[in-house]
Amino acid sequence: MASIFNSLNIGYTGLNAAQVGINTTGHNIANAEVDGYTRQRVITAAATPITSRPGQVGNGTNVEDIKRVFDNFVFDRYTSVSSDKEYSDYETQQLETLSTYFPEIDGVGIKADLSEYYNMWQTFSDNPDNDAIKVALAKQTTTLSQHIKQTQNQVLGLQSQINEQLSVNVNEVNDIASQLADLNIQIDIAEAGGGYSANDLRDKRNLMEKSLSRLVGANVNSGQLSANIQIDSNSNLKTGSYTVSVNGFNIVDGNTFHPLKLTNDTNAFGFYDVSYERQDGILIPMNEEITGGKIGAIFALRGGALDTTSGVPVDGIIQNVVTQLDSFAKGLIESTNNLYAASATTRKESNNTKIDLSTRSLVSSDINIKEGAFDVVIYDIDGNEVSRRKINIDAGTTLSDPSGTNTNSIENQLKANKDDNSDSNGTNDVDDLLTEFNYQLSPGTGEYRLSLGVSPAAESSGYTFAIADNLKDATFASGSNFAGALGLGRYFDGESAQDIQLNLSLRDNPTNISAGYASTAGDNRAAISMVQHQFENYDFNVGSQAFNTTTYGMFDITATYVGTNTNAAILKNETVSTQFNATQLEYFSTSKVNIDEEMTNLIKYQTSYGAAAKVITTIDQMMQTLLGIKQ
């Protein structure tokens, strides 16, 4: 038979249950705005009754556990869409920044400068002997060149910033993953023996899981999933084995942490490589494996795969813009220089090149020389054409001939004893007047340079020479591009968007800019070719792609590429944001603290506490009655 003291204990268990309920409710309210906190509920059950002759007599209540209201299925969707949103937000932010470097829609920018550059050539062709227009043309050329360089430097600067953010974010991933491994130990200790749930530690772990998903698209794999129907119809709990993986590579395995390695020691441009270190110390490249979260967006923008030779990314939106701008600038430089080489001078020097072309086929080299031909033209002091020689280029043509056996080399074709004019005069042919052919290694640079020039006697007599491409048809691109590829007698210096500029000698003295082929007053043939240049199609090579278009067209391709990618990112971000908001709302409705609900619970537990206290007061009065009977 239950005693009166058992009745007193029943009151006490009621007080205790109400107290735990109030504590838990207060804990919920205090953490209502804490990121990652999951509301908790008290699980109570009737205590084991006392069996007596009348039957089983109630023995109060037991607080069995305090559980989180948490749905793993919803949380998995929430972390997945959080990864997508972090990717999309970062991608959109960086592409919107990139698009500001191409303000073509406002009528300013490189395209506007390019249009004004061609307009100045038109003006120059109308006034070929006007020195003031030459100065204005040089100024506009400098403006165009500086704008191209500025834009490329801005794009490269953005790429560099993104690369540095890769370092910061990978270090953060390693830091969180390390903490997560330590936290797993704490959870195992707290839940040892299957006693109670480490609710706050699990909340902290879930917050870290979401952070890893946002950073690197990490996935969590746990063992057993069990329902908590006593708490909520949607509540469940994962227990057992625990791993966090990035595209199949475990960075956290229980209480073991496998860091991501970050290196850029051997990269000339400082681009970081990310790799996964196995337990045996072998590093597995991860640049192309990480496709989710902020780091996935970084690789998609900066470029993931790095060229093993140059160290430059071979993919990525920003790298594609860099490559396209370089292709645009290189095409502008080469095609312009190829035309300007037709302007006569006494000496022409090529760009420096790291490739020795003395015995290498020009056509199969990395320099953009095509099969075809070009003419070497000699002019006298009055601008009259004295002689002309056609120089052929085929698959076997080399630049020079150290062995003396290749009659098809450029050097031997220039030096061949021919009667170019068919006048039986042995003193006025190309080989008689163009005597300088010097191809050698430049001191201290490790690079080669070609120089061509008329003889001192010919120079003193006023002879000059020009290189005119021999076109297969009416298009400028149908020639050999010999002078343009080598930069002989160039108008532009440089070979990319980073170093394009007006030739140094023309910068120092713009009045040396030539409008014609010869020195004859009023000759505007070179300037007219420059005006026509804007309408000519050329091949622009961008990686494995080739675009046959004008200089305007190539720049439009680049600006359009930036614009379409930015617009696509914005539209995608709107969709992802909608999905994120819906999933977040679903997650919050399940797990986030509802203040109104907690205030209701607080009133409920307060009432329970008062009722349990009344039970104890009643038992106290009963005991006083018993004591009074004894007296």
pLDDT for 570 equals: 97
Neighbours of 394 (CB within 10 A): 12
Neighbours of 414 (CB within 10 A): 17
Split at pLDDT 50, 70, 90, the class of 442 is confident
pLDDT for 343 equals: 96
pLDDT for 446 equals: 81
- What pLDDT, in 10s, does the model give residues 32-65? 999 999 999 998 888 888 877 777 878 889 988 8
Percentage of the chain exceeding pLDDT 90:
71
- 3-class secondary-structure state, position 20: helix
- CA neighbor of 212 nearest in space, from 242, 248, 172: 172
Task: Describe the crossing of helices 131-190 and 110-126 by its angle, rounded to 10 degrees.
Answer: 170
- What is the average per-residue pLDDT within 339-352? 95
Split at pLDDT 50, 70, 90, the class of 20 is very high
- What pLDDT, in 10s, does the model give residues 116-145? 999 999 999 999 999 999 999 999 999 999
Tell me how far apart the alpha carbons of residues 299 and 48 are, in angstroms, rounded to a whole number.
Answer: 61
Tell me how far apart the alpha carbons of residues 379 and 342 are, in angstroms, rounded to a whole number.
Answer: 11
Mean per-residue pLDDT of the chain: 91
Tell me how far apart the alpha carbons of residues 583 and 570 are, in angstroms, rounded to a whole number.
Answer: 20
pLDDT for 211 equals: 95
The mean-pLDDT minimum among 181-195, 373-387, 484-498, 536-550 falls in 181-195
Phi, psi at 216, each rounded to 5°: -135, 10
Split at pLDDT 50, 70, 90, the class of 238 is low
The DSSP string of 325-350 is: HHHHHHHHHHHHHHHHTTS-BSEEEP
- What is the average per-residue pLDDT within 446-453? 91
- What pLDDT, in 10s, does the model give residues 566-596? 999 999 999 999 999 999 999 998 889 999 9
- 3-class secondary-structure state, position 496: coil
pLDDT for 56 equals: 80
Could you tell me if 426 and 458 are in contact, meaning their C-beta atoms sit under 8 angstroms apart?
Answer: no
Strands 61-68 and 219-227, how do they pair?
Answer: unpaired
pTM for the model: 0.88
Spell out the residues 6+ positions from residue 58 whose beta carbon is closer than 8 angstroms to its own. Answer: 10, 46, 47, 49
- What is the average per-residue pLDDT within 197-208? 92
Could you tell me if 288 and 316 are in contact, meaning their C-beta atoms sit under 8 angstroms apart?
Answer: no
Split at pLDDT 50, 70, 90, the class of 230 is low
Residue 1 has pLDDT above 60, yes or no: no
The mean-pLDDT minimum among 78-82, 277-281, 338-342, 383-387 falls in 277-281
Tell me how far apart the alpha carbons of residues 472 and 343 are, in angstroms, rounded to a whole number.
Answer: 20
H or E element, residue 384? none
pLDDT for 270 equals: 93
Tell me how far apart the alpha carbons of residues 631 and 627 are, in angstroms, rounded to a whole number.
Answer: 7
- CA neighbor of 494 nearest in space, from 622, 347, 328, 372: 328
pLDDT for 232 equals: 56
470 beta partners: 373
pLDDT for 231 equals: 56
pLDDT for 631 equals: 58
pLDDT for 78 equals: 94
The DSSP string of 276-307 is: EE-TTS-EEE-TTT--SHHHHHHHHHH-SSB-
pLDDT for 226 equals: 55
Tell me how far apart the alpha carbons of residues 531 and 31 are, in angstroms, rounded to a whole number.
Answer: 72
Q: Provide the total of helices (H) and of strands (E) in the chain, helices listed first.
A: 15, 21
pLDDT for 2 equals: 65
pLDDT for 534 equals: 96
Domains of the chain, residue spans: 1-68+594-631, 344-488
